[in-house]
Structure 1
Amino acid sequence: MVKVNDESMVPADRLRTDPLVQLDREQLRRRSSMKWRAYPEDVLPLWVAEMDVPLAPPIAEALHRAVDLGDTGYPHGTAYAEALAEFAAHRWGWDSLRVERTALVPDVMLGIVEVLRLITGPGDAVVVCPPVYPPFYAFIEHDARRVIEAPLGSDLRLDFDTLEAAFVAAREGRRRAAFLLCNPHNPTGVVHTRAELDAVAGLAQRHGVRVVSDEIHAPLVLAGASFTPFLTADGAQDGFAVLSASKAWNLAGLKSALVVAGPGAVGDLRRMPEEVGHGPSHLGAIAHTAALREGGAWLDDLLLGLDANRSLLGELIARHLPFAGYQAPQGTYLAWLNCTPLGLHDDADQPEGPGVVGDLSGPATFFFEQAKVALSSGHVFGSGGAGRVRLNFGTSPEILREALGAMGRAVADRAGA
């Protein structure tokens, strides 16, 4: 294990167990994936949803075994679904997840698209709650569906009056409609309560809207909150959930996910084309299965590290960016910062609506140019994103301290100019 440079500021027990402090910057710079390669080497990348962690040992061992055997063919069997069912029962008390109600898909977003194809048609509406994960817009519109926004409330939680109005609009002319739920919510880190999910299911039933729940961040709920699977909500029988181990174990490059149908949606799931199951990687399925079955201890250590980083981030924002709006996330490793009080953007120049994930605007441009810190620009997350940035705190305390310090100095220099 390689310790970070500021190890004196990290408790010794955390240095032994926390995946977030086990890689130094030189090792991270050797990676060829997007996070550390998209920007110049003098930029600290706190943007795309990759964590700065080593691969969990049980996953690495499973992949090594497969490579040693030359086991690199097509995926087969239900081991992944069985592992998810076991994990869900143990972690979330979801003991009604049935393997026969699952389908293997290439990844969560492509699984969502395939489900939307089953329950909506071209020109039908899909409701989303911005600010929200930008590919929701891109994938929905690319597949010839319409997006209807139901923005979150000022508390960054679901606004049920707005959501009901969106459901009514989506069903105009008795067209089919769906609600694409983000559970937990990206970028705000809000973890929906059981009461909120019961209310979503009830509204959806009343208005004839089908719910598809993106639960990719489900294992990443931090202290003080608990995750509720949407399909356990009252009235969610005809809904879908799409899950993977991708975010919690940093497996974005090992493609594999699972669609889970509620008992009232099994008939729809059976209409999914057989060729969809050809897309997932066999090595991906092996890795995700190992994560869910054997990666629990590693995940627990990660959650402790993320919780410590969440606290550290709050302290750093209070010290370096005291006027920024910040609500500590309940889950994920993503923080949503309101930079409008800092005066870093011009509303006249701020793009409207979602854009390309890599686009920078407003405060993200400022921090990139003046602080050499790459953040996700808020405008790509849809309504409510202007003047905001998303910050990935799934990194070492050292990098967080350096990044927030640079951001604070840039704002102070601008104020004193």
Structure 2
Amino acid sequence: MLPLPRRAERAYFGLMDHAPRDDSDDTDPLRRLTLDELRLRTSMKWRTYPDDVLPLWVAEMDVPLAPPVVRAVTEALARGDTGYPAGTGYARALADFARARWGWDGIDVARTAIVPDVMLGVVEMLSLVTGPGDPVVVNCPVYAPFYQFVTHMDRRVVEAPLGEDLRIDLAVLEEAFRHAVADRGRAAYLLCSPHNPTGTVHSAEELSAVAALADRYGVRVVADEIHAPVVALDAAFVPYLSVPGAERGLSLMSASKAWNLAGLKAALALAGPAAADDLARLPEEVSHGPSHVGVLAHTAALREGGDWLDAVRGGLDGNRRLLASLLAERLPRVRYRPAEGTYLAWLDCRQLGLGDDPAAVFLERGRVAFSPGPHFGTGGAGHVRLNLATSPELLTEAVRRMASALG
């Protein structure tokens, strides 16, 4: 397919933007912004590709910010409150959120630390429990920066592929643990929960089994739980540190993904009761990395942004159903299992015959950008990751472009 000329694209989306909208769910933040409004943004999602490309790749949401976040940031700027971060307000807000949302009363503010963001926090946690050359187990296909950050810090990745059902294969994980500790060195397991890119929400039973295996083999668990608040309305997130046997675990959490705050850097490291001494060894200078304004924004999101978050979750539920319907109609050879968590969709395009990297074909022929499956490690070939956090109109257009790319 030839790319839409810019004028034609404007005409198409101009009609869409001025068409009558379904106001039955006008509180859904995913339905609030037009394409022209989104193209005014200067972030990575909207500046990496030319204007004729529809970007549904990197994990940014097409939403206006939650009003409490806007208020917290603008008030801070008006006060000139743009210094260094201080205090435990962020951690206390997360503890209250966890208690209300997940029924978990296990966040002890004394066992928390602010870190610049989740991935830099992961690096710091892995540095506390492993040394150069030590293995780090991951469940592939998995978030691509896991590979980049782990190898950059001179650790080696050991893959434990997910099962065909896109869930943790405990037998495979056990074998990976056995291999990782075979030379009697230290080893860690970098758990992605909910899982990116598949959107799998791990159950309490699965996480308890993971904790038991980690204890048996002496593997330290570091959990990336950045997508924790973003689950379907009928799904339940289970914090890793809440399950029996996870006392030696470490976790990273943030309001970043759920409230679209990637540009306002701040995250929290959490330690289980038996990992408090490890967290206490975190270098003091790490706490200087987060943005003070970011901490204020994340705190406001956790304390006052619950209604906004639930509106987004409802919109994502609708988008999952819409995507399944569109693919069944337009691209029935694409396999898609609507997931319970994240705002990401993992599409199996292997039956389309587009090779290992179908995202490259969809970009060239259809002018729609997805995250390439091979970037996510073993099991990613022939797949693409699609960002669902957009309007139903743009999601519909994305599938239309995918189908046209095959014509």
TM-score (norm 1): 0.93
Query: Structure 1: which 4+ aligned runs deviate by more than 2 Å?
Result: 3-8
Of 234, 248, 251, the match for 1:224: 234
- In the TM superposition, what is the alpha-carbon distance from 1:269 to its structure 2 partner? 0.3
For the residue of structure 1 that corresponds to 2:45, the secondary structure is helix
Post-superposition offset of 1:6? 7.1
Residue 349 of structure 2 corresponds to 339
Equivalences, count: 394
Q: Is the 8 A contact 1:6 1:398 kept in 2?
A: no
The match for 2:181 among 160, 171, 177 is 171
Q: Pick from 100, 106, 123 the counterpart of residue 116 of structure 2.
A: 106
Q: CA deviation at 1:319?
A: 1.0
| Contact 1:107/1:257 (<8 A) preserved | yes
Structure 2 residue 68 is the aligned partner of structure 1 residue 58:
yes
Cα distance, 1:228 vs structure 2: 0.2
Aligned residue number for residue 384 of structure 2: 389
Would you say 1:254 and 2:264 are equivalent positions? Answer: yes
Structure 2 CA distance for aligned equivalents of residues 177 and 148 of structure 1: 10
Partner of 1:355: none
**1:160-184 Cα shifts (integer Å, max 9, x gaps):** 1110010011112110000000000
Cα distance, 1:223 vs structure 2 = 3.1
Query: Residue 236 of structure 1: CA displacement?
Result: 0.1
Does residue 1:370 correspond to 2:326, yes or no?
Answer: no
Distance in 2 of aligned mates of 1:321 and 1:6 = 28
Partner of 1:5: 17
Partner of 2:3 in structure 1?
Answer: none
Distance in structure 2 (CA, Å) of the matches to 1:276 and 1:409: 48
**Paired residue type of 1:213:** A
Look up the match of 1:234.
244
Shift of 1:215: 0.4
Deviations 1:346-366 (A, max 9, x none): xxxx4xxxxxxxxxxx20011
Is the counterpart of residue 85 in structure 1 residue 80 in structure 2? Answer: no
Alpha-carbon distance between aligned partners in 1 of 2:49 and 2:326, rounded to the nearest angstrom: 24
Letter in 2 for 1:51: M
Aligned partners of 2:29 and 2:64 also within 8 Å: yes
Paired AA for residue 145 in structure 1: R
**Paired residues of 1:231 and 1:237 also in contact (CA < 8 A):** yes
Q: Against the structure 1 CA distance between its residues 365 and 85, is the aligned structure 2 distance closer, same or farther, given a 3 Å change threshold?
A: same
Q: Is the 8 A contact 2:233 2:310 kept in 1?
A: no
Which of 23, 41, 47 is 1:31 aligned to?
41
Unaligned runs of 5+ in 1: 351-361
Root-mean-square deviation (Å): 1.3
Task: Using the TM superposition, give the Cα deviation of residue 7 of structure 1 relative to its aligned residue in structure 2, in angstroms.
Answer: 5.7
Letter paired with 1:367 = F
In the alignment, which residue of structure 2 is the partner of 1:357? none
- How far off is 1:197 after superposition? 0.3
Structure-1 separation of matches of 2:363 and 2:275: 45
Deviation string for 1:325-351 (max 9, x for gaps)? 111111111000111101111xxxx4x
- Answer whether contact 1:128 1:147 (CA < 8 A) is retained: yes
In the other structure, the counterpart of 1:127 is 137
Q: 1:402 aligns with which of 381, 385, 397?
A: 397
Q: Is the 8 A contact 2:194 2:200 kept in 1?
A: yes
Q: How many Å separate the matches in 1 of 2:324 and 2:46?
A: 24
> Shift of residue 313 of structure 1?
0.7
Equivalent-residue separation in structure 2 for 1:410 and 1:119 (angstroms): 47
Partner of 1:157: 167
Q: 1:129, 1:149 within 8 Å by CA — same for their partners in 2?
A: yes
SS of the aligned residue for 1:213 comes to: strand
Give the share of equivalent positions with the same residue, in percent.
Answer: 61
Aligned twin of 2:339: 329
Q: CA deviation at 1:406?
A: 1.4
Distance in 2 of aligned mates of 1:201 and 1:108: 21
Are 1:72 and 2:72 matched, yes or no? no
How far is 1:11 from its partner?
A: 3.4
Aligned partners of 1:125 and 1:178 also within 8 Å:
yes
